[in-house]
Structure 1
């Protein structure tokens, strides 16, 4: 993983000491961007573009504090483009028209523009359409940054003209390297115990900018003695998870919680949930793991398990802590006491493998739609039997590609609601077998 800076900052490169720590530690080359080697490395999409000297329009999608703005600025430098930045939060149509006009003038003079748009998903559909002609004719190379899923938030027309690159949240190693660089810049270590340092890293949740802002506050405070986890929590007014040296406080406890739910031990599950919540673990992290357990270990044995988790998430969003934590407890106990089945989980794995192994087989013609006359002439839709017109609303037709033998992915257990599903599937299979060829 690339380091953010060399161990010492040369005097001629040292920024003004009055600048915020996060600004002082901004990378100066793409090689110094931390945590995104899958993009900026020699084999990454950005690395290949820079090596070729050709840059296409991009959408950088990733969590806050992962380097989107820095990458855009450094891209412009690397390929010799003029850099212009806008925020969709503060910019409107007039700002865009001005940028496009100036960029066109610079293009005529032989210099193209990289237009960086932060929070691009905040532009409405009409504003997004306004980018299209200027991207198409090369007036600007657009680099948009978003924390939201581009497939939901950006126009299909704009997405088709951009390559979407996904930035990863910074892992513990990357965040630790950031703190190392911060200490080298300031010239002294952070005033924290080892456990408190680990808790500070965990509290950043992959956000490098947040981490550096918290570190700067600690440097400015300059306590006489290193702070432990409790003192750090009091200073920053954030609940800090207690992480010990072997990180049992995070990965070990979340594993114990999940396995206690899977093993139908509500008392143990509640104990581990309490351990994590009282230590300061993020409630939404726990809700995500509970939701995963609902679909992986319970599934259709009790379809309400997933609903309980989503309701707990909504309740926590509405009430906050500590009242909303009661909803998390309810969801945890519901999952631990629910009938268990991993049939949905296993069905997904088998179906995904089958889809990859069998390629792009066409469904049989009788279940294909026929919106045009040509398709109707070719026999699309011929012989389709409308199930609601059949006895028991079941025709028993074959829906599989002709080149493929029907397979069984989902095998319900005899536990909970899946017992009824097993009976239903057996009834359908029996009638399919009785259907004349």
Structure 2
């Protein structure tokens, strides 16, 4: 069994990378102090900093975007506390590889060597495979460090999460990425051939991914460039980086949540930004439209009944025009919702009415509003005493429409915003008329 899958010998730790190694490997930190962008974990008050100071690690899950240093941190942690580092990848490993890793860890323990088992892409193991880690973590055969780009609460089972601390790595900020650029230039012995604006554009293109940034730097360093590149020339030379967005993963739910809350908060600029993020990254426009339609009823409702009409019209326009022309109709619907008066009164009314319907079972409506299509039904009182509202002077009879065993309920309470203010006035007038008619 090779070292990659946890053989008895720990994975080799070369002091210096090969001359032909990728730039990211050449600049890989040698100590925790060289790690950039994760001071909240590696600093003296951070979880990792405290564990290293104590000389003992607990099992943990490192959760963060690509290129933020999860693998590097795991290797440095093993070095810092003198543990054997055994890496495996969930992409390439199966049950046999895991068994071999655990057996090697047991052998190492007999020789007095503790094992740090690093599992890259741990979310790719299925639930049964994840359960297989539990006895070896519990009895101390291995200290587990799993790395994942997916939300652990979705990707990992509860039993494994209860035995490991989840540490969140942040996407690298501008300062951290700039530090990586400086290190790359120092290693090369010369600055990158970029104007200040192009340098900023290069950092922005990395989208928080240090590995991607260094790959781009390596490309620039391998090309003979006569004069410093401006942003336009840099964009032409390097391929554009596509946003990280998995439509069935957490990024999808984060952005749709942000869109929904920006709409609810009446911020048209932020709402448009998050919607653009989704569509630019390849989200299905009809999915976005479905969410806008839902929002129109849930968060605008009768404060502006046209909101739902606008969204359905946008759906029709998009289906008629297609992309990219039809996307302007989606933008219009988004802006309409963000700038419309807001009310969740209909949403709350639905919940209250549904609960009441479940609690009251099959109560019969009052006889006066029951249909009486047969002679027998008329004889037993169906429809008797019903008042046809249009025949009254005000077009309002004030009759009781609730089951006899049930008091009238108030599910819907309109707000004082938009159209609902007028609805509230009408409802108040009807309530007053009912009281007068009963008097």
Q: CA deviation at 1:88?
A: 0.3
Q: CA deviation at 1:330?
A: 3.1
Instruction: Specify the SS of the correspondent of 1:85.
Output: strand
Where structure 2 has 5 or more consecutive residues not aligned to the other structure, the ranges are 1-13, 244-261, 302-306, 345-354, 366-401, 433-439
Q: CA deviation at 1:304?
A: 5.8
**Residue from 159, 162, 171 that aligns with 1:160:** 162
Q: Distance in 1 between matches of 2:103 and 2:332?
A: 61
Are 2:227 and 1:225 aligned? yes
Asked whether the 8 Å contact 1:199–1:240 carries over to 2, the reply is no
Q: Distance in 2 between matches of 1:167 and 1:59?
A: 10
Cα separation, partners in 2 of 1:421 and 1:202, compared to 1, 3 Å = farther
Please give the TM-score of this superposition, normalised by the length of structure 1. 0.63
Q: Distance in 1 between matches of 2:149 and 2:422?
A: 42
Q: Distance in 2 between matches of 1:32 and 1:425?
A: 68
Q: Distance in 2 between matches of 1:337 and 1:201?
A: 35
Matches within 5 A, 1:22-33: 22-33=24-35
Q: Distance in 2 between matches of 1:111 and 1:67?
A: 25
Where structure 1 has 5 or more consecutive residues not aligned to the other structure, the ranges are 1-11, 242-257, 316-322, 345-366, 368-384, 399-409, 431-437
- Count of aligned positions: 330
Instruction: Specify the SS of the correspondent of 2:143.
Output: strand
Q: Distance in 1 between matches of 2:26 and 2:230?
A: 27
**Residue from 257, 277, 283 that aligns with 2:280:** 283
Asked whether the 8 Å contact 1:199–1:229 carries over to 2, the reply is yes
> Which structure has the greater CA radius of gyration?
2
**Residue from 177, 202, 205 that aligns with 2:204:** 202
Instruction: Specify the SS of the correspondent of 1:116.
Output: strand
Q: CA deviation at 1:103?
A: 0.3
**Residue from 89, 93, 98 that aligns with 1:91:** 93
Cα separation, partners in 2 of 1:264 and 1:217, compared to 1, 3 Å = closer
**Residue from 414, 417, 430 that aligns with 1:414:** 417
Are 2:73 and 1:71 aligned? yes
State the match for 1:184 in structure 2.
186
Instruction: Specify the SS of the correspondent of 1:107.
Output: helix
Deviation string for 1:103-158 (max 9, x for gaps)? Answer: 00111111111000010010111111111111111000010001111111111111
Q: Distance in 1 between matches of 2:29 and 2:70?
A: 12
State the match for 2:332 in structure 1.
333
**Residue from 329, 347, 359 that aligns with 1:386:** 359
Deviation string for 1:305-324 (max 9, x for gaps)? Answer: 9989xx9xxx9xxxxxxx85
Asked whether the 8 Å contact 1:305–1:335 carries over to 2, the reply is no
Q: Distance in 2 between matches of 1:131 and 1:397?
A: 58
Asked whether the 8 Å contact 1:230–1:240 carries over to 2, the reply is no
Q: Distance in 2 between matches of 1:63 and 1:425?
A: 53
Asked whether the 8 Å contact 1:103–1:139 carries over to 2, the reply is yes
